[in-house]
């Protein structure tokens, strides 16, 4: 439980840094929740995101929307200044932060 709360808060901070243009990657290796739950043996199984969406790999979340957008428009690269200049990126990141914060009150967490 304590590990989960720490990972969720770290993940929220990570997304806030993405939004501020201080970080540029948002893959498995960049996420504290993935580090804890996206294991070979139990992929996403106990992650609060999975508990909420029933989808592996954050597919059915704003993360998935951002991933698709970045893949299509920014050629898989959130380089310096990208988020600051792209309202679509900002929209998805803001939505992900709201989504992650909503997990704080989830009974599954
Ligand atoms: Zn963008």
Cα(18) to ligand 1 centroid in Å equals 12
Average per-residue pLDDT for the chain: 91
What separation, in Å, do the N-terminal and C-terminal C-alpha atoms of the chain show? 8
Cα(83) to ligand 1 centroid in Å equals 6
User: 10 Å Cβ neighbour count for 93?
Assistant: 23
Cα(31) to ligand 1 centroid in Å equals 20
- What pLDDT does residue 107 have? 57
Cα(109) to ligand 1 centroid in Å equals 31
Cα(96) to ligand 1 centroid in Å equals 14
Query: Each residue of 47-84: pLDDT tens digit?
Result: 999 999 999 999 899 999 999 999 999 987 788 899 99
Which pTM was predicted?
0.91
Is 13:3 a contact under the CB 8 Å cutoff? no
């Amino acid at each position: 439980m304590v590990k989960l709360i720490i990972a969720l808060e770290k993940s929220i901070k990570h997304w806030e840094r993405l939004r501020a243009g201080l970080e540029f990657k948002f893959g498995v290796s960049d996420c504290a929740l993935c580090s804890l739950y996206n294991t070979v043996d139990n992929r996403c199984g106990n992650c609060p995101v999975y508990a909420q969406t029933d989808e592996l790999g954050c597919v059915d979340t704003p993360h998935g929307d951002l991933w698709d957008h970045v893949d299509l428009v920014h050629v898989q690269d959130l380089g310096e200044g990208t988020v600051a200049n792209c309202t679509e990126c900002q929209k998805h990141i803001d939505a992900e932060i709201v989504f992650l914060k909503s997990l704080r009150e989830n009974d599954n967490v």
